[in-house]
Homo-oligomer: A and B are copies of this chain.
Amino acid sequence: MALIVQKYGGTSVGNPERIRNCARRILETQRAGNQVVAVVSAMSGVTDTLIKLAREVSPECEPVEREMDVLLATGEQTTIALTAMAINALGGKAVSLTGAQAGISTDRVHTKARIVNITPDAVHKMLDDGNIVMLAGFQGETASGEITTLGRGGSDLTAIAMAAAIKADLCQIYTDVDGVYTCDPRVVKTARKIDEISYEEMLEMASSGSKVMQSRSVEFANKFGVRFEVRSSMNHNPGTIVKEETPGMESVVVRGVSLERNQAKVTIDDVADRPGISAAIFGAITQANITIDMIVQNVSFDGITDISFTLSAADLPKAEAALKAVLPNLGDKATLRTQGGIAKVSVVGIGMRSHSGVAAKMFKALADAKINIQMISTSEIKTAVIVEETEVENAARVVHTAFGLDA
């Protein structure tokens, strides 16, 4: 008998029929001789409807975050009750637990709380009584009993954290794709499903545009050594196992290729090259709450240099406003230039640590396809380049082929 945690997203429980489908799959898993904790999200669309209501009653200001959590938590509470009913109607035995009832304790940061502790006594008791436990994703409670929510990707986090707390044998994240792919199959037709991927690779792929899971859930899994599987709720195909790195994994140099579109570049030309200049620029950016990606600083000439960085195109207006305010402090000649319409292609793999020549191979593949590289950034297990947005799909394809990833 194995102890299994499953997680179903909002689309998988989007209407009564789909809820019954999930109920059947959960029940099958139990009847195959397992104990099952199933984490569910709010039915798709419900959270948006609640947010709309919140804005309507609170037109003068952002809705209070404490109350936003009380409101949003009803979404998952609805789903656990309905799924438990469906399982019971299908002849199974299920009980629902809210985050609070399941012993999920968080800090007090409403709308993006962090799990600080899990006391899974109620979960164990209900499992021991032969129940399937339907657990509300995305929510917890503070030490003083206030309802909190975990922010984006919160239901994945609930599943992985509960799997760690109850020492589950298996944690399955059900989604609408078969697993993690070597590249987005809509872009690269020859992309293959990856059988196994390390936490680090998964994190790098997530942070460079592959949006299967939020980074924080993967980070949590890495920290607590929770091996999990990303798989489809629409079929019974095996998915992708995300797990600790094993020696054999390094034999694959590049695990996958990520794309990130809608990037923009900001360049400040003719900046005085003296201490404090970078701090002034990036301090202003941080204060405006903007996340930046690559940074390049040219070699200085005559006490003057250029600094460029990339960011999401959506943040460009905010960044321009923030930088115009500090421009006078950056030297007499400093000027600001911005450019949209660019995108990022990254290759990721822990094999890069022990294999040299990855960057060279990537650049050659792009050169052969006459694709110009505008910026380059590398980390221990990733090499990323900025290209014209119009060339990004072709760039992904030629790189995918160059590293032997095609099916």
Contacts and interface: CB of A to CB of B under 8 A. Distances in A.
Interface of A: 16, 19-20, 23, 50, 53-54, 56-61, 63-64, 66-68, 70-71, 73-74, 77-78, 80-86, 88-90, 95-96, 98, 101, 122, 145-147
Chain A binding surface SS class: helix
A54 B96 CA distance: 14
Contacts of A59: 89
Given A59-B89, A74-B77, A82 B54 contact: yes
B67 A84 contact: yes
A65 to B, nearest CB: 10
A253 B61 CA distance: 55
A73 B77 contact: yes
A78 B74 contact: yes
A147 to B, nearest CB: 8
A101 B16 contact: no
A57 B82 contact: yes
Contacts of A64: 84-85, 88
Given A57-B83, A67-B81, A77-B77, 13 more contacts: A16-B56, A54-B82, A57-B85, A59-B89, A61-B88, A63-B85, A63-B89, A67-B95, A70-B77, A70-B81, A70-B84, A74-B77, A74-B78
B58 A85 contact: yes
B54 A85 contact: yes
A86 B80 CA distance: 28
Residue among A68, A80, A83, A88 facing the most chain B CB atoms (10 A cut-off): A88
Nearest 7 Cβ contacts at the A-B interface: A71-B81, A16-B56, A74-B74, A58-B89, A70-B81, A57-B86, A67-B81
A120 to B, nearest CB: 14
Residue among A20, A53, A59, A122 facing the most chain B CB atoms (10 A cut-off): A53
B53 A16 contact: yes
A66 B95 contact: yes
